[in-house]
Amino acid sequence: MGGSMFVIKHFEPGGFVEKVRQLTKEEQSLLFTASKEQQELLQHLYGRWIYCDCPSPVTIRRITRSNQYHLAKIHGRPPHVPTCPFYSIVDGEQAGSEGNLSANNTSYSFSQHVNDSNTITGAYDSPNSTRVGRTDKLYTLVANLFDSAGVNRISLSNPPEFVSQVKGLRKAAIKYSLGSKPLRDYIFFGMGSFKEAYTSLKEREKLWGGRHKPQAILLAHVEAVTHDDSGWTIKVKEDWAIKLTKQARVTRLNGLFSLTKGPLLAACVISDINTDKKQPSKYGISRCFISPLVNSKGFMIVDSDLERTAAKVATRHILTNQSSAILEKPLLPVMVEGTPVLPDFLIKKNGVTEVVEVMGKWDDPIYQSRKNNTLPLMLSLFGTVSCVGKETSKDQDAYYAECNRLFASKI
């Protein structure tokens, strides 16, 4: 972090700051993750404030409806400087409301009647899907949900397995809401569940009121996503394809991956796609986020085709060697010294965590500069960083062999 952080008692503006204790480096990092450990830390500190280098404390709020904790600025206190990790968190008066759960990423809405200011827009009729950052609302929902369910972690006791991971995702969905409704009631799995989602929305239309319109989330494994002059097509399998309307929005991360090389995750928003509001609702896919999956058995998403290969190799070593190691794919960045840091993979074994970075664009000077800035920060957090692909990313066989050697030594 950029400096020390302390747990403090409440104080009046301009009053004496009574420090209770200093946060460790690990605790400072946990503050900016979406994890069970973060929630446990915030619960433990609840009732105190956190003090950084800025002359302004940060409070901890609890949302009783979801029993979730989150950080919030204290209304009326001085702002945090732009380089401070607390700079981007919301004001306590906004975050403390039971009706506004967005402060801790548990409430989402994709209704066209709700301002979607957190998304990054682009040319949707382009042959390439719109590329978005990790603040994209649909991505953050998927990332937080997957992290809560643990499907971004592979181990001997948690192998990639569709049925068990769907069960875990349904359970995790209890913590989230979609358009003010419980997400667990409006989440579906597999394109074969589209009719079920459609029927559910039709039957429950009258339950939706106010500014939020009926919507559901469908998570499915697909083979490819293609585009032509008439719009987007999702290829589920060889003889099954779904044509989206021209108004449908398709987004993806900035990673290097092929939209025609599956398996891919299609995270779809199902809502009313009828442009004539005088006509009855017509439910379809209004928005879709695409990401590569490690395999069609589980839900670990990755950023690139190279990352998929690395994760497959690591998974094989874990399962065939009966290893106690855990492979984790972090999905949301943490702030370190004012810089967002997101390792490609973490390997956890015998109480030690190591970073594995996939260097897919090492011949790009801008990419090199960015990595040269973030790698030392990763090293400060975890102590060990290994890189793969610097010299082999353009040679499939050489890259696979390098991944095999690396994970054989780590797992």
Q: Please identify which residue in the block is written with the tokens 């900035």.
A: 254
Q: How many domains does the structure of the chain reveal?
A: 3
- 47 and 149 in a single domain? The answer is no
Residues 86 and 11 in one domain: yes
Which pLDDT value is given to residue 91? 57
Residue 247 near residue 273 (C-beta atoms within 8 A):
yes
Which tokens hold the place of 217? 């989330």
286 shares a domain with 247: yes
Same domain? 220 vs 349: no
Using only C-alpha atoms, the chain has a radius of gyration, in whole angstroms, of 22
Query: pLDDT tens digits for 239-266?
Result: 999 999 988 999 988 778 899 999 999 9
In terms of domains, do 245 and 372 share one?
no
Cβ(193)–Cβ(97) below 8 Å? no
Q: Of the candidates 269, 292, 315, which is a domain's last residue?
A: 292
Residues 225 and 363 in one domain: no
Residue 201, C-beta contacts closer than 8 angstroms, at least 6 positions apart: 186, 214, 215, 216, 270, 271, 281, 283
Looking at the fold, whether 190 and 338 belong to one and the same domain comes out as: no
Distance CA 409, CA 244 (A): 46
Decide if 121 is inside a domain. no
State residue 82's pLDDT score: 73
Regions of the chain short of the pLDDT cut 50: 1, 93-104, 113-127
Q: Cα(first)–Cα(last) distance of the chain, in Å? A: 30
At residue 285, the pLDDT reads 95
Order of strands across the sheet that contains 224-228: 224-228, 231-237, 240-243
DSSP 212-257: PPPEEEEEEEESEEEEETTEEEEEEETTEEEEPPTT-EEEE-SS--
Half-sphere exposure (Cβ direction) of 75: Cα atoms closer than 13 Å: 7
Could you give the CA distance from residue 223 to residue 260 in angstroms, rounded to a whole number? 7
d(CA 242, CA 204): 24
Query: How many Å is the maximal CA-CA distance in the chain?
Result: 70
In this structure, what token pair is assigned to residue 263? 């398996």
Residues 225 and 241: their CA atoms lie apart, in Å, by 9
DSSP string of 104-132? GT-EE---TTS--TTS----TTSSSPEE-
Query: Could you tell me which of 171, 341, 165 has the C-alpha nearest to residue 265?
Result: 165
On whether both 150 and 274 belong to a single domain, the answer is yes
CA distance 45 to 27: 11
Structural domain including 227 reads: 130-292
Q: What's the pLDDT score for residue 98?
A: 37
Residue 141 is assigned to a structural domain of this protein? yes
Domain boundary among the residues 238, 263, 292 is at 292
CA-to-CA separations, 37 to 27, 84, 99, 169, 282, in angstroms, rounded: 9, 22, 25, 18, 42
8 Å CB contact between 388 and 395: no
pTM value is 0.72
Domain stop point among 37, 70, 104: 104
Same domain, 245 and 137: yes
Residue 325 CA to residue 68 CA, distance in Å, equals 29
**Cα separation, 101 vs 106, whole angstroms:** 6
Domain identity same for 266 and 175: yes
Ramachandran assignment for 179, one of left (phi > 0), alpha (psi -120 to 50 degrees), beta (any other): left
Secondary structure class of 19 (helix, strand, coil): strand
The kind and range of the H/E element at 336 are: strand 334-336
Same domain, 258 and 331: no
pLDDT at 400: 97
| 136 and 172 belong to one structural domain | yes
Q: Nearest 5 degrees, angle CA 121-CA 34-CA 146?
A: 75
